[in-house]
Amino acid sequence: MKTIDELLADGVSGKRVFVRADLNVPLADGTITDDGRIRAVLPTVKALAEAGAKVVVASHLGRPKGAPDPAFSLLPAAERLGELLGAPVAFAQDTVGPAAHDAVDGLQPGQVAVIENLRFNAGETSKDDTERAEFADRLAALADVYVGDGFGAVHRKHASVYDLPKKLPHYAGYLIATEVGVLKKLTEDVKRPYVVALGGAKVSDKLAVIDALLGKADRLLIGGGMAYTFLKAKGYEVGISLLQEDQIPAVTEYMQRAEKQGVELVLPVDVLVSREFPDLKTKAPADYTVVDADKIPADQEGLDIGPKTRELYASKLTDAATVFWNGPMGVFEHPDYAGGTKAVAQALLDSDGFTVVGGGDSAAAVRTLGFDENAFGHISTGGGASLEHLEGKTLPGLAALED
């Protein structure tokens, strides 16, 4: 995989460089609530601009259905990118139409333009190879060189991720180069003990990675909504907690395999329960109690790991040489149920090992809860991509850059 440093060494002054970024930031009423993904691509964009390239930044945002939708416009992301760069950023109101060509044609060396949401064109996500290739051809007309730096999208076989780099000289940006290096430390050159903390809502989202990690990790710590399917598989009452009953057979098998393979699979020993889900808008104080994990009332739901579990999980992370954490331990968006996620984050900070926060809600939680991002070994920008790599899957966007 050739990197951006090789491209810069060859010279890019005056060249149109297409940067496939991941500007898929969360928005609330048109306002960005977490700009972490924009900041992650800054080193690549800055380096290219400072070297005199005409930088064309492209990304998706949300899941529009192959047509323009103002709710998913990249304009707020383009404006924020300009603020962070400290320089004007042109914005094209289409992807490959007249506005995009005008914006790119108007660039002077060292300037940056952002084109509109790639998913406003059905060709971006099409499963039809021909339709996808045709859209990639139209994107290729905007550039001379391709730089892949949208790690959060490399597990997607999309036109701008998979097809476009095959049509242009292609290089990996700084973010992707960093992410690939981190993934090697989690899969090929692992220092032990290797501890993985998994949370989030659905156990079905994590089954494949659990399957893969049973042969690699020394300990698995399970939290979040997915924990209740494990507790149910042990025969516990879980009340009205999030539960995927159809996954109980798979979870049971994994618990048995973990025991046979000597992998320590750790479940919550106590939880915070309530009859009502908290109001995440007003953040009004919640009415909850702490109960042992095997004593959840039938009319209540678990919303966070309890204080004993927080201490337990912290102790299981103390001696770790490598830690991968993906998924919050509870409903961290509400202050009364953020304690479990805070405890895991703090345990990672207190660890002397190499700590990786695996993107998605975990990365958002770190920033929302006020932790210093630089204190962690690495905060990934791609939760899904990280998980699929750990599962052993080939990621289309990385494969395209390696060709």
Question: Which residues are known to be catalytic?
Answer: 37, 202, 360, 384
Helices (H), 145-247: 174-187, 207-213, 227-233
137 in a known ligand binding site: no
3-state DSSP assignment of residue 317 = helix
Helix (H, G, I), strand (E, B) or coil at 221: strand
Please check if 7 is assigned to a binding site: no
* CB crowding 87-117: b at 16 or more within 10 Å, else e: eebbbbbbbbeebbbebbeebeebbbbbbbb
Q: Is 24 known to sit in a ligand binding site?
A: yes
Q: Is 367 annotated as a binding residue?
A: no
119 is in an annotated binding site: yes
Q: What is the dihedral of CA 357, 359, 362, 365, to 10 degrees?
A: 110
Beta carbons within 10 angstroms of residue 311's beta carbon:
14
- Determine whether the annotation assigns residue 37 to a binding site: yes
User: What is the rounded distance in angstroms from the CA atom of residue 162 to the CA atom of residue 131?
Assistant: 13
Q: Is 216 annotated as ligand-binding?
A: no
Sign of CA dihedral 241, 244, 249, 251: negative
Do 162 and 396 form a contact (C-beta atoms < 8 A)? Answer: yes
Do the annotations mark residue 61 as ligand-binding?
Answer: yes
The answer to whether 43 and 5 have CB atoms below 8 angstroms apart is no
What string of H, E and C letters represents the secondary structure of 107-141? CCCCCEEEECCHHHCCCCCCCCHHHHHHHHHHHHC
Tokens matching residue 170: 């292609």
Question: d(Cα 236, Cα 230) in Å, to the nearest integer?
Answer: 9
189 assigned binding-site residue: no
Residue 66, annotated as binding a ligand: no
Query: Is 360 annotated as belonging to a binding site?
Result: yes
Report the alpha-carbon angle 316-321-324, nearest 5.
70
For CA atoms 92, 95, 100, 103, the dihedral sign is positive
- 265/113 Cα distance (integer angstroms): 48
User: Who's near 142: CB < 8 A, 6+ residues apart?
Assistant: 16, 18, 56, 96, 100, 101, 104, 115
339 annotated binding-site participant: no
Radius of gyration over every alpha carbon of the chain, rounded to an integer in angstroms: 22
Which residues sit in the known binding site? 22-24, 37, 60-63, 119, 156, 206, 302, 333, 359-362
Binding region for ATP: 206, 302, 333, 359-362
- Known binding-site positions for (2R)-3-phosphoglycerate: 37, 119, 156
Which residue ranges make up the annotated binding site for substrate?
Answer: 22-24, 37, 60-63, 119, 156
